[in-house]
């Protein structure tokens, strides 16, 4: 791959060795989204999810802190919790009855007398805990790597954009209506790269869906002068400044009215006029490595890798906690009609990613390059927007930013000190460093 030239190898979408390296070098090292704080408000509240392919339990403690530990019994490896979410006093393994408290400590087991003195030191056989847990304005992240930079540094300049969705009004956000899971036979990166910057597909792939949702009206035109790609550390937000594109696509007039009359004026006060126009515009975003959202449409999602050619998509509806119930319901209905599993847009995307993944695997096809050069000369210094900025929403800039970070981590061999700074425009000159040969010099 050569991101300065703007092309990628197709191998990264199906190769098993590369996938294993992604699990070690990216998912076992980066900060990964595991929960929203409001999903587990009370002591004993828990949910189960995955960090890479490692199953984990995210659990609220008695002191209201949050612990994350591996959902795998140290006896034979069974999951100690099969449920998606709930409230527990302990987690008891189904297989031989080992029981763990909500902090993951081994408390006891079925027929404990079968162990002779010296067979087991219970204090050493708890559930493995992650290295760090931290949160950013309601979003809880965890990492297996004790050497990872702080969550604030990891998010870097991207926080300016993330605040558009998590901090645009008093009281913060919540995920409502539960979690929807779907399996898509596609590589996890196709979902992330689509949301990080692929405005280009929207007017084409989603043309019929847009017309069906909006009385025959087509996808809003993109203003290539007043629209941008912004990326920092592999995270990215592509956006316009027109204020109403994604809100229009949601197809709920009451939400549009609420946004125009209530939310946008408050947002302008809180985050500034500029970000109030970014929020509702045609926009999409991803947090490296595998979280995505649409600010004005309010879908929030994570792409869980399940092998190189399969992903599990988990989606939620994200709303401001202080919104009237009627507006929350309108937004939920709108999200289901657009980006629910049977939504007008969700199905169009999944089919494309499935076929991208499958066709890239052909033994002859895999030797061909993929083109990621759109807009490569449109980099600019913007006085207001943090991060690395490119002009024009039809652009591959954020995708290049995402894969640059991916490549940095895959090549850094475990040390964060070897991972280049990709946070902002401070980085001058060539977009990527020259990489040594090896597995990932693709
Ligand atoms: Fe959990 Fe045996 S595998 S108790
Ligand atoms: Fe799409």
Q: What is the pLDDT of residue 394?
A: 96
Write down the mean pLDDT value for the chain.
93
Is ligand 1 within 6 A of the CB of residue 96? Answer: yes
Q: 101 C-alpha to center of ligand 1: Å?
A: 15
Domain ranges of the chain: 31-133, 157-434
Model confidence at 439: pLDDT above 60:
no
Tens of pLDDT, residues 84-93: 999 999 999 9
Is ligand 1 within 6 A of the CB of residue 73? Answer: yes
Whether domain 31-133 has CATH 2.102.10.10: the reply is yes
Q: What is the pLDDT of residue 425?
A: 53
Catalytic positions, written as ranges: 96, 198, 201, 206, 349
Report pTM: 0.95
Tens of pLDDT, residues 351-398: 999 999 999 999 999 999 999 999 999 999 999 999 999 999 999 999
Neighbours of ion ligand 2 (CB under 5 A): 349
| Nearest-CA residue for atom 4 of ligand 1 | 96
Is ligand 1 within 6 A of the CB of residue 79? Answer: no
Nearest Cα neighbor of 198 from 312, 294, 301 is: 294
Nearest Cα neighbor of 128 from 56, 73, 70 is: 70
Instruction: Report DSSP letters for 290-326, one per residue.
Output: TEEEETTTTEEEEEEE-STT-EEEEEEEEEETTS-HH
Is residue 417 very low, low, confident or very high in pLDDT (cuts 50, 70, 90)? confident
Q: DSSP H helical segments within 113-201, as ranges? A: 151-155, 159-166, 188-197
Tens of pLDDT, residues 130-142: 999 999 999 999 9
Model confidence at 430: pLDDT above 70:
no
Q: What is the pLDDT of residue 427?
A: 39
CB-CB contact of 417 with 13 (8 Å): no
Q: Which fold has domain 157-434?
A: Naphthalene 1,2-dioxygenase Alpha Subunit; Chain A, domain 1 (3.90.380)
Tens of pLDDT, residues 338-349: 998 888 898 889
């Amino acid at each position: 791959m050569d991101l300065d030239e703007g092309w990628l190898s197709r191998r990264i979408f199906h190769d098993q060795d590369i996938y294993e390296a992604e699990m070690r070098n990216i998912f076992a090292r980066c900060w990964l989204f595991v929960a929203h704080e409001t999903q587990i408000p009370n002591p004993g509240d828990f949910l189960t999810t995955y960090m890479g392919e490692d199953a984990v339990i995210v659990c609220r403690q008695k002191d209201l802190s949050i612990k994350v530990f591996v959902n795998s019994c140290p006896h034979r490896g069974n999951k100690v919790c099969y449920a998606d979410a709930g409230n527990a006093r302990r987690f008891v393994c189904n297989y031989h009855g080992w029981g763990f408290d909500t902090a993951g400590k081994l408390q006891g087991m079925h027929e404990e007398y079968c162990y002779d003195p010296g067979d087991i030191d219970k204090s050493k056989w708890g559930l493995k805990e992650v290295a760090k847990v931290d949160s950013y304005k309601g979003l809880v992240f965890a990492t297996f790597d004790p050497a990872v930079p702080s969550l604030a540094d990891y998010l870097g300049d991207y926080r300016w954009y993330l605040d558009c969705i998590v901090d645009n009004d008093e009281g913060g956000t919540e995920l409502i209506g539960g979690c929807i899971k779907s399996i898509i036979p596609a590589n996890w990166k196709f979902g992330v790269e689509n949301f990080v910057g692929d405005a280009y597909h929207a007017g084409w792939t989603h043309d019929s869906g847009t017309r069906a949702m909006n009385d025959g009206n087509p996808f809003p035109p993109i203003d290539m002068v007043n629209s941008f790609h912004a990326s920092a550390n592999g995270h990215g937000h592509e956006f316009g400044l027109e204020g109403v594109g994604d809100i229009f696509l949601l197809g709920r007039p009451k939400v549009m009215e609420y946004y125009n009359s209530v939310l946008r004026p408050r947002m302008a006060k809180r985050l500034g006029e500029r970000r109030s126009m970014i929020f509702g515009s045609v926009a999409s975003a991803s947090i490296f490595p595998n979280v995505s959202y649409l600010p004005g449409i309010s879908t929030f999602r994570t792409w869980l890798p399940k092998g190189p050619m399969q992903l599990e998509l988990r989606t939620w509806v994200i709303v401001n906690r202080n919104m009237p119930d009627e507006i929350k319901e309108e937004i939920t209905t709108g999200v289901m009609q657009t980006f629910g599993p049977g939504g007008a847009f969700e199905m169009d995307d999944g089919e494309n990613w499935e076929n991208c993944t499958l066709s890239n695997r052909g033994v002859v096809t895999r030797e061909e390059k993929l083109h990621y050069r759109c807009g490569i000369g449109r980099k600019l210094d913007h006085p207001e927007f943090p991060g690395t900025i490119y002009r024009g929403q039809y652009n591959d800039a954020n995708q290049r930013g995402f894969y640059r970070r991916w490549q940095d981590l895959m090549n850094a061999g475990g040390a964060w000190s070897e991972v280049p700074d990709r946070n902002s425009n401070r980085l001058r000159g060539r977009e990527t460093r020259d990489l040594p040969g090896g597995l990932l010099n693709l």
